[in-house]
């Protein structure tokens, strides 16, 4: 059962260490196929982009391949891997008045059920979700400054599709931009206090 984003307390985005101390977490990968495809399509798209000139002399072939990989990645991450690996889901629906509504949900797990999110899967999910859009942003600036205009459309599509999943899942986790800011501030505050406490103890 999925609850709305007010209950997003299951997956740690910034501070997995505190959650680990509060409740047991499994490090075993419970969904190996989902974990594989979570990284496969997005990494493959990046590899094809970097090696396109070596793999094929046809720009159209490389462009179509990258777009297909990005589209498969967007669908898999949005509809499958997020729900299985970290218990998060975002989607859109249109009400009876024709208005579009975005819904950001997180699975609320019962303490009696042995369905705790795997820490290993959580790390794989967030690492792939964050790192790949950052790379596409770098590729966008590189294509712009090196005047590779024909690649800009492909790179921008990579930024948009993977950036959309990143934004959607962060909204699922933290609920709003305000919560994201407070969560980051809380994390760095804890790290600062922990470091100061450690320095006081050593002195």
Residue 185 buriedness (CB in 10 A; 0-12 / 13-18 / 19+):
exposed
pLDDT at 114: 44
130-166: per-residue pLDDT in tens? Answer: 999 999 999 999 999 988 888 999 999 999 999 999 9
Non-local (6+) Cβ contacts of 90 within 8 A are 78, 82, 102, 103, 104, 105, 168, 169, 171, 172
Specify the pLDDT at position 177: 46
d(CA 15, CA 161) in angstroms, rounded, equals 26
Read off the pLDDT of each residue in 194-202 and give the average, rounded to a whole number. Answer: 63
Please determine, for residue 23, whether its predicted confidence score (pLDDT) is greater than 70.
no
pLDDT at 109 (0 to 100): 57
Neighbours of 162 (CB within 10 A): 27
What is the residue-wise DSSP string for 93-132? EE-TTS-EEEEEEEE---TTSS-PPPHHHHHHHHHHHHHH
- Report the predicted TM-score, pTM, of the whole model to 2 decimal places: 0.68
Higher pLDDT, 129 or 106: 129
pLDDT of residue 54: 86
Name, in order, each residue with C-beta under 8 angstroms of 151's C-beta and a sequence gap of 6 or more.
Answer: 49, 139, 143
Question: What is the pLDDT, as a whole number, of residue 8?
Answer: 39
Helix boundaries (H) for 23-108: 32-55, 59-76, 82-85
Cα 5 to Cα 176: distance, rounded to the nearest angstrom: 9
Residue 21 pLDDT grade (very low, low, confident, very high; cuts 50, 70, 90): very low
What mean pLDDT comes out for the span 172-193?
63
The three-class DSSP label of residue 195 is helix
The DSSP secondary-structure symbol of 147 reads T
Tell me how far apart the alpha carbons of residues 167 and 170 are, in angstroms, rounded to a whole number: 5
Query: What's the first-to-final CA gap in the chain, in angstroms?
Result: 51
Q: Which residue has the higher pLDDT, 109 or 64?
A: 64
- CA count, 13 A, side-chain hemisphere, 68: 7
């Amino acid at each position: 059962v999925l609850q709305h984003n007010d209950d997003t307390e299951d997956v740690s985005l910034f501070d997995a260490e505190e959650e680990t101390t509060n409740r047991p977490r499994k490090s075993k990968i419970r969904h190996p196929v989902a974990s594989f495809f979570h990284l496969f399509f997005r990494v493959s798209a990046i590899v094809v982009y970097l090696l396109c000139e070596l793999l094929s002399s046809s720009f159209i072939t490389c462009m179509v391949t990258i777009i297909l990989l990005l589209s498969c990645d967007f669908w898999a991450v949005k509809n499958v891997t997020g729900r299985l690996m970290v218990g998060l889901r975002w989607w859109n629906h249109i009400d009876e008045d024709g208005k579009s509504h975005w819904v950001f949900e997180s699975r609320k797990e019962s303490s009696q059920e042995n369905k705790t999110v795997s820490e290993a899967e959580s790390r794989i999910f967030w690492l792939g979700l964050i790192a790949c859009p950052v790379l596409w942003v770098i590729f966008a600036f590189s294509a712009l400054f090196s005047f590779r205009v024909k690649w800009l459309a492909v790179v921008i599509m990579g930024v948009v599709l993977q950036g959309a999943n990143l934004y959607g899942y962060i909204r699922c986790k933290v609920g709003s931009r305000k919560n994201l800011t407070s969560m980051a501030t809380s994390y760095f505050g804890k790290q600062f206090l922990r470091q100061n406490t450690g320095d006081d103890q050593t002195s």
